[in-house]
Amino acid sequence: MIEIHPMVIFFAAIFTNNMILSNFLGMCSFIAVSSEIKTSLNLGQAVTFVLTFTTLLNYFVYHVILVPLGLEYLRYIVFIIVIAAFVQLVEMIIDRYFQTLYYALGIFLPLITVNCAILGVSLFMVIRDYDLFQSLAFGVGSGIGWTLAIVTMAGIRQKIKKAPIPKGLEGPGITLIIIGLMALAFIGFSGIVQIQ
């Protein structure tokens, strides 16, 4: 185990090792759902929620089942199955019992089943050899970082709605350019903490 305080990992996951802006993971829903602040915030919440719990689940699945059996190389397929099943189950539960929550983030859940940021966090957790608390901090932090990025993006996109963007760059084109600029800006944080 490497000795990094969980809080350091938490902040690093938000700012310096942001899932979107430094790893470019989870781009699909990031580009598709970042046109309004309100919906992007809801999607961000859903991602944070799913990230937190799947990271924990996958931590246990990995250390309790895969490592003792010597099956670490199966982690990709196992992580994916666990994530998909978990998202499915959560969708059923909140659809039934938490109506308001369902309308706020339930309908986004199918969108993030295959979000690579979520698989990415579970895999980084294994590669970087985090312990339980470090993993938890990394999961929550990455979720918040992802939310921060998508909400900022949505804010910018709402501002530029009336801007005269060249036709070929409208929509995803200009969004990718903005993500690039945001990623450059986030390099400014890199002096604060480093976890790699």
Partner 1 sequence: MEKILITVTAISSISGVLALLLSIANKTIANYGEMKMVINDEKEYTVDGGDTLLTTLVENEIFIPSACGGKGSCGYCKVTVVEGGGQFLPTEAGYVTEEEQKEGVRLSCQCKVKEDIKIAIPEELFNVRQYDYRVAQINTVTEKIKHLHLDLPQGKEIQFKPGQYIQILTPTYKGNSEEVYRAYSIASSPSKTTGIELFIGYIPEGICTTFIHQFLKEKDKLTVVGPFGDFMYQETDREMVMGAIGTGMAPILSIIRHMYEHKIERKCTFFFSARTRKDLFMMDELLKYESEMPNLTLRFSLTRPTPECNWDGDTGRIPQVMDKYLDGDGNNMESYLCGSPIMIDAVTEVLLKKGIPEEQIYYDKFS
- Which parts of this chain interact with partner 1 (CB under 8 A)? 39, 61, 65-66, 69-71, 74, 77-78, 81-82, 85, 88-89, 92-93, 95-97, 99, 103, 107
Shortest gap between Cβ of 88 and partner 1 (angstroms)?
Answer: 6
Secondary structure letter of residue 189 according to DSSP: G
Which residues, other chains included, contact 147 with Cβ-Cβ below 8 Å and sequence gap of 6+?
A: 41, 44, 45, 47, 48
- What's the min distance (Å) between Cβ of 97 and partner 1? 8
What are the residues whose beta carbons fall under 8 Å from the beta carbon of 93, sequence distance 6 or more?
Answer: none
Tokens of 129: 């050899």
Q: How far is the CB of 152 from partner 1 (least distance, A)?
A: 20
- Least gap, CB of 92 to partner 1 (angstroms): 5
Nearest distance from C-beta of residue 123 to partner 1, angstroms: 17
Decide whether 18 or 147 has the Cβ nearer to partner 1: 147
Nearer to partner 1, 2 or 170 (CB): 170
* Nearest residue (CB) to partner 1, 93 versus 185: 93
Other beta carbons less than 10 A from residue 156's beta carbon: 16
Which residues have C-beta within 8 Å of that of residue 90, sequence separation ≥ 6?
A: 49, 50, 53, 109
Closest by CA position to 135, among listed 26, 76, 68, 62: 62
- The rounded distance, in Å, linking the Cα atoms of 25 and 117 is 5
CB closer to partner 1, 101 vs 182: 101
| CB-nearer residue toward partner 1: 40 or 115 | 40
